[in-house]
Amino acid sequence: MPSDSRSIDGDPEPLVAVVIPALNEVGKIGRVLDKFPRDPRFEAIVVDDGSTDGTGEEARAHGAAVVIRHEVRGGVGAAIRDGFARGRERGRPWLAVLSGDDQHEPGELVAAFQTGLSMSADYVQGSRWMSGGQTIGSTGGRGLGTRIYSLAFSLLAFRRVTDATNGFRVFRASILEDPAINLDQAWLDSYDLEPYLLYKVIRRGYRIIEHPVTVRYHAHDGFTKMRGLRDWWRLFRPALLLRMGVKR
């Protein structure tokens, strides 16, 4: 297991690059960063995916270590992929994903990371549905959908995952060096990328654990940028297409 402390000129470097994709999240991205752990092991990389409302400027003002700007919207998968690439360029041994719409509690990254280290895990998947996890606010009917999806994903992956749609995750950056895991595919530019990665990590035999987290639903700010059956299909199809051998 690699060392979990490194330094340059005596100053500790972050260990976890936390990628936060954001599209038109003014008012939310600032709240996310204000709650970000005051722990030098973590740094925030915000990917502003073509926002028109000043999301990137707010992210800088609230302490993001890096803000990547997409002039043209590329999709949440493309945003996450670029964030991962920047984290790896910066030499961070761990990567994480956190929502930019204030659904997750950034402070929970600390416990998730510590649990991953203590259990020698390669990948920590957040779950609102396991013991200790919770939701705050009305799910707007999405609660049942996420449970059904997680069951279907589990059947396809041959591994029980209680909350496969949850975007909260922490994992070793070295996973992305696996030649069987290829995030640089155009069909992964949208919501497909995260379930693709989870499925691949499971099937490749990495050590995966789930960790309880909080998901907060904001009734007045909107639930999600997912829209209709098309985006649910983008979540569902990676496991199905990979299981059928149609995609790799």
The verdict on residue 194 lying in a domain is: yes
User: Which residues make Cβ contacts (< 8 Å) with residue 87, sequence separation at least 6?
Assistant: 17, 19, 45, 95, 173
Structure confidence at residue 55 (pLDDT): 98
The verdict on residue 2 lying in a domain is: no
For 210-220, write each residue's pLDDT tens digit. 999 999 998 66
- The token pair that represents 158 in the structure block: 């041959």
Structure confidence at residue 116 (pLDDT): 98
The verdict on residue 155 lying in a domain is: yes
In this structure, are residues 107 and 87 in contact, taking their beta carbons and an 8 Å threshold?
no
The verdict on residue 103 lying in a domain is: yes
Question: Which residue blocks in 158-217 are alpha helix, DSSP H?
Answer: 193-203
- Using alpha carbons only, what angle is made at residue 105 by residues 55 and 41, rounded to the nearest 5 degrees? 85
CATH number of domain containing 91:
3.90.550.10
For 148-178, write each residue's pLDDT tens digit. 999 999 999 999 999 999 999 999 999 999 9
The verdict on residue 248 lying in a domain is: no
Q: How far apart, in whole angstroms, are the C-alpha atoms of residue 63 and residue 5?
A: 22
Tokens 């028109």 belong to residue: 52
Residue 155 backbone phi and psi in degrees, to 5: -65, -40
The verdict on residue 217 lying in a domain is: yes
H helices then E strands: how many in the chain? 7, 11
- The token pair that represents 213 in the structure block: 């987290």
Structure confidence at residue 4 (pLDDT): 38
Structure confidence at residue 227 (pLDDT): 54
The verdict on residue 1 lying in a domain is: no
Q: Is the pTM above the cut of 0.85?
A: yes
Pairing state between β 11-12 and 42-49: unpaired
- Number of domains comprising the chain: 1
The verdict on residue 64 lying in a domain is: yes
Residue 125 backbone phi and psi in degrees, to 5: -105, 125
Structure confidence at residue 47 (pLDDT): 98
In this structure, are residues 43 and 65 in contact, taking their beta carbons and an 8 Å threshold?
yes
pLDDT < 50 regions, the chain? 1-9, 223
Whole domain around residue 227: which residue ranges? 7-243
